[in-house]
Structure formats: C-alpha cells, structure tokens
Amino acid sequence: MLPLANAGGKDQQFFADGLSEALIIALSQFDGLKVIGRNSAFQFRDSKEGSRAIGAKLGVRHLLEGSVQHAGDAVRVSLELIDTTNGQTLWSQRYDRPYKDLFELQDDITAAVAGALRAKLLVDHDAPEQSDRPPSGNLEAYSAYLLGRFYAERNNDADIQTSIAQLTRATELDPGYGIAYAELARVWNSYATGFAVGAQTQQAYANANAAITRALALAPGQAYVHVVRSRLLASRQKWQDADVEMQRAIALAPSSGYVLFALGQARARQGDVEGAVVLTRRALDTDPLSQRWHGWNSAYLLGMGQLNEAQQSIDKSLELQPDSVSDHYNRTVLAVLRNDAAGALAAAQACPQGGWRDLSLTTAMQIGADRAAADKQLRDYTDKYANEWAFQIAELHALRREPDHMFQWLERAHAQLDPGLEGLLYSPFLQRYEDDPRFAAYARKVGLPVK
C-alpha cells in the first residue's frame, strides 16, 4: 500500500500518514497478503513513477493507492487497487463518512481490499488483533497519538519534545490507551539516549519506565508494547529480561517486520550474528526500503567479516538516507577493515558534523601514516566524549592494538550503562581479543554469553 495523498491541507499530513499506517497494520494481519511496511511504502510519497516501476522496486504485484481529505467532521477516502504488471485498475471505491465513524471506515476498507484480492482472514482467530486504536474509540486521543508519531519521526530535540507532549495528551484523553503509552515510552527513551544531558537523562529514563509499565498493564497482547520494553531493558543492560520480552513479541506477531528486526537485534547481542542477518533480511522482505534496517544489517555483516555484502547494505542505506551518520561511520569501518587509509578518511570526511563524524575521523586516522596526528586525534576525542562514548573509545584502543586500555574503557562503558555494549560480541575491532581470557570474563560480568 502506498501512502494516501493528503488532500486536506498541510496541517492534515499527519492524519493522512496515520490513516495509511493504520491500513498497513490492518491489512498485514490477513493471511495470504504480503503487505509492504511503512518505511518502504512511504518512500514513494508523491512519486511520479508508474505503478509497474514501483511494483518492481517493492516486489509486489498489486498496489493500493489513493487520497484522503479530512475537513471538519467529514472524511473522504478515494482508493484504487492496481495490477502492477499491466497498470489495470482491479477495484476502486470512494468513501464519504463522518469523522466519528473513522474506525468503522478503516474496517470497511480493509475488508473490501482483502475481498478484492480474495485473501483469507487471519488463521489464528484467537490471537489478539494488533492495532494502534484507542480502546475507547476516542478520536481526539487517536489524533494526538498520530501527531506524536509524526513529530517523533523527525528525530530532533524540538520535535521530540512536541511528540512527548502530544503522546502525553493522548494518554490523558484516553487513560486506557496502551499503545500510546508504549510509544511515549519509546520516545522518552530516544530522548534519554540522544538528546538529554545530566539529570535530564535519568528523569527521561524514569518517565520511559513509568510509561511502559502502564502500557504493559493496559495492552499485554500488543507485540509493539513488548518490543519497546525489550529496547528499554536492553538500553539499561538488562539483557535476559529484554530477551524474554522479545519472545513475547514474536509469539504475538510472528510475521511482523518490526518484530523480526528487533529479534535480530537481540540475536546479535547474544552473539548469533548469522541469525541476526537472517531475521533482518526477513524483515526487509516486508519493508525492503527501510534505511534503518539496511544500516543495522551492514553492522552485522561487518562483524562477520562479509565486507562485500556489508558494502552493499551500506550503499543501499545511504542511497535511502544520504545523511545517515551511522552509515557513514560504517563505511569508514569498512575501509579500515580493508586497510584503505585514503578511503577511510574520505568516508569520514563525508559524514555530517557531530559526534559520529568525530568518531569516523578518529577511526580513520588510526590506520594513517601520521602517528602523531592519530594520537592527538584520539586524545581530543577522548577528552570530548569520555562520559558518553566509552564503548567507542574501547573500540578505538582495540583498533590500535592496545588491549589494556581497551578493557579499561570497557569497564567504564559498563559502569556508565553505555548502550553501545550491545555490540560487544560482533564489533569487528573487539573480536580481535576474543581469545584473551579477560574478554570472556568481561562478557560474563556484563551478562552476555561467552563464545
């Protein structure tokens, strides 16, 4: 399904996006339908490409496209189901409904599309329905939730704050809205790890924990709740508890691309990097244009030493998002592993300004000919990032073949609850010391398995 075109004015873009995503969620629960996920579908917003070209890129035979107009108390949705092999319209319909009947409208559309494709209903009728709707049917709460999701996607400090405000409002309008609490927990955690400083960080983590506790009590049958809780637990190095939550999520939504991707993260953390690649590729089958998933896949492949495959994933991720700082870093690491000093420096210099660029430049310089410059770069980086990036400093010392310093910084990473420790067992630089008895002892200490 392609994102519905917004015909209701700029201030209604969030509504068009939210309705599109709700239909994707609903359609994905029908047996026999391969439904492409949000990340890939939304790459084609306002695209001028024809249905055949889009279908080829997404690997689908049918496209559902159309528009939505929300004005006052009325909603109009126009839809077409198109065969991408010949551009023929198989089914079309226009719906004019009062806004208060929005959820009934969603149900009618999903049933009509499934019928047009002759899909069967869910095989497991006892499985809880996966949905982002408020249980009370409160449309104002739903609108606030959609706005919260919309602003969270922008991933900057100001919009994260707006997202938190809207998601908080959604939970106030409907105190039983479990998915809204889960999303609020996820955004608070993102704020803690990416934007908060000092005492703000611990308060953000506390807010995230309070929100996910509420979400679990309200919506234990929603896989997304368990995925978010797993991420929160992992970010605080509670690995075993995080894995339990992932098992609950996969039991509730075994074919969900988001759940498969998150399970892959858990497998990689446990040292099963090959399994992580398999799961991530399965997730990409449902969302082949997910920049984030391609990026994570490249990190796993780098850890496995599959450099050509890693390059393909990095290139794809940067094609989808040229300013992806983590992918520029991964490209730097790739060149370092190939002992290509010039390529590593060029990759690092292409990274946008900020912490990831500083890390990329420091990494690249460690294999350059100017040792004095490499030493100074590392000192400067350490002075600037000792309290936030201890794990990455440990990796730099591993790259420099300085295991004593490496283990010292790993200890600091553990003490600081550095989320980078999730990569301990697949970091291409740290793996050089897997045979050092101190490595196994450290893994046991932090609660990760020993290879």
The residue among 260, 268, 263, 318 whose CA lies nearest residue 285 is: 260
Rounded Cα distance between 33 and 12, Å, is 29
Look-up of token digits 């990494």? 363
Whole-structure pTM value: 0.71
pLDDT, residue 125, reads 45
Going by C-beta distance under 8 Å and a sequence separation of 6 or more, which residues neighbour residue 156?
none
Q: Are 286 and 35 in contact (CB under 8 A)?
A: yes
C-alpha–C-alpha distance, residues 137 and 100, integer Å: 9
Type of residue found at 444 = R
**CB under 8 A, 24+ apart: contacts of 381-386:** 384/358, 385/355, 385/358, 385/359, 386/412
Q: Within its chain, how far is the Cα of 325 from the centroid?
A: 15
In which residue are the tokens 């590392």 written?
Answer: 378
Strand pairing partners for 79?
66, 93
CA–CA separation, 184 and 201 (whole Å): 15
Alpha helices in 99-138 (DSSP H): 102-116
Look up residue 281 and give its two tokens: 């590729």
Domains of the chain (ranges; CATH) run 5-126 (3.40.50), 132-254 (1.25.40.10), 386-451 (no CATH)
Is residue 40 within 8 A of residue 33, CB to CB? The reply is: no
Q: Which two tokens stand for residue 161?
A: 């704050």
Contact call for residues 241 and 254 (beta carbons, < 8 A): no
| Residue pointed to by tokens 């969030």 | 14
What ranges make up the beta strands (E) of 227-316?
none
Give pLDDT tens digits along the chain (451 positions).
788 787 766 777 777 777 777 777 777 766 666 677 776 777 777 777 888 888 888 877 788 888 888 777 888 888 788 888 778 787 777 878 887 877 787 777 777 766 666 554 444 445 577 888 898 889 899 889 989 988 887 656 788 899 999 999 999 999 999 999 999 999 999 888 767 766 888 899 999 999 999 999 999 999 999 999 999 999 888 988 998 898 889 888 887 888 899 999 999 999 999 999 999 999 998 888 888 889 999 999 999 999 999 999 999 999 988 888 889 999 999 999 999 999 999 999 999 888 889 999 999 999 999 999 999 999 999 999 998 889 999 999 999 999 999 999 999 999 988 888 999 999 999 999 999 999 999 999 999 987 6
Of 400, 436, 397, 402, the residue nearest 413 (C-alpha): 397
Q: Which strands make up the sheet holding 5-6, listed edge to edge?
A: 5-6, 62-71, 74-83, 88-98
Measured distance CA(330)–CA(335) in Å, rounded: 9
H-type alpha helices, 136-177: 139-152, 157-173
CA trace torsion 153, 361, 399, 324 (10° rounding): 20
Q: What is the pLDDT of residue 33?
A: 65
Rounded to whole angstroms, the Cα distance separating 140 from 137 reads 9
What is the model's pLDDT at position 371? 95
Q: Tokens 């000919």 identify what position?
A: 369
Strands (E), 329-386: none
- φ, ψ for residue 268, nearest 5 deg: -60, -40
- Cβ-contact 448, 422 below 8 angstroms: no
Name the CA dihedral angle for 161, 167, 172, 174, rounded to a multiple of 10 degrees. Answer: 180
Taken in order 343, 331, 155, 200, the sign of the CA dihedral is negative
Tokens matching residue 343: 């390529």
Find out whether 228 and 215 touch, Cβ atoms under 8 Å.
Answer: yes
At residue 335, the pLDDT reads 98
